[in-house]
């Protein structure tokens, strides 16, 4: 069986992220085991899983759509890690390293999407034009 996803650097990097996420989330308080812990693990797992599913033989445009879905999982995981950080379950140094990994994966996905679009002859803007909200300075709730 040909496994084209195993050749993709973004799949390899996202698989390594899954391991780091499990190591971190398994240190969460026991009462979070079936709450935030499980959600974070599912989001992390979905990134390389969606990439693998999309890399199976199909059109470049369909593959690009799967890569967009993987970007959605990156954003979901980013949000969940921010929640964990705010609740004190994730140390700032762990969060910074994971945030850097998520940014790298997102850039890799964006580049692969651009390549798929270019090769398929369809030019569409790549989803990311600004950093996810968790990377922006927190807003003052009183100013809303």
Q: What value, to the nearest 5°, has the Cα angle with vertex 71 and ends 22 and 17? A: 25
Q: Is the residue at 129 inside a domain?
A: no
Q: Is the residue at 33 inside a domain?
A: yes
Q: Is the residue at 38 inside a domain?
A: yes
What is the secondary structure of the chain as a DSSP string? ---GGGG-HHHHHHHHHHHHHHHHHTTS-GGGTTTHHHHHHHHHHHHHHHHHHHHSSS-HHHHHHHHHHHHHHHHHHHHHHHHHHHTTSS-HHHHHHHHHHHHHHHHHHHHHHHHHHHHHT-----S-SS--GGGSPPP-GGG-
Lowest mean pLDDT among 8-12, 88-92, 99-103, 132-136: 132-136
Range of the domain at 37: 4-121
Confidence class of residue 143 from pLDDT cuts 50, 70 and 90?
Answer: very low
For range 100-107, the mean pLDDT:
98
For range 63-88, the mean pLDDT:
96
- pLDDT at position 86 is 95
Confidence class of residue 9 from pLDDT cuts 50, 70 and 90?
Answer: very high
pLDDT greater at residue 88 or residue 2: 88
Tens of pLDDT, residue by residue over 13-23, are 999 999 999 99
Q: Is the residue at 133 inside a domain?
A: no
Q: Is the residue at 131 inside a domain?
A: no
Q: Is the residue at 31 inside a domain?
A: yes
Q: Is the residue at 75 inside a domain?
A: yes
Distant-in-sequence, close-in-space partners of 68: CB < 8 Å, separation ≥ 6: 113, 127
**129 pLDDT exceeds 70?**
no
pTM of the entire structure?
Answer: 0.81
Buried b (16+ CB within 10 A) or exposed e, 78-108: bbbbbebbeeebbeeebbeebbebbbebbeb
pLDDT, averaged across the chain: 87
Q: How many domains does the chain have?
A: 1
Q: Is the residue at 113 inside a domain?
A: yes
Question: Where residue 18 sits, what CATH number does that domain have?
Answer: 1.20.1440.60
**44 pLDDT exceeds 90?**
yes
């Amino acid at each position: 069986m040909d496994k084209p996803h195993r050749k993709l650097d973004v799949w390899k990097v996202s698989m390594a992220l899954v391991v780091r996420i499990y190591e971190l989330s398994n240190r969460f308080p026991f009462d979070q085991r079936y709450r935030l812990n499980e959600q974070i693990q599912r989001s992390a797992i979905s990134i390389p899983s969606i990439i693998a599913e999309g890399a199976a033989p199909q059109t470049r445009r369909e593959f690009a759509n799967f890569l967009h879905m993987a970007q959605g999982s990156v954003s979901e995981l980013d949000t969940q890690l921010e929640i964990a950080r705010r609740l004190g379950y994730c140390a700032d140094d762990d969060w910074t390293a994971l945030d850097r990994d998520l940014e790298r994966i997102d850039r890799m996905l964006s580049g692969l999407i651009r390549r798929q679009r270019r090769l398929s002859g369809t030019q569409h803007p790549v989803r990311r034009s600004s950093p996810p909200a968790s990377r922006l300075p927190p807003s003052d709730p009183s100013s809303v």
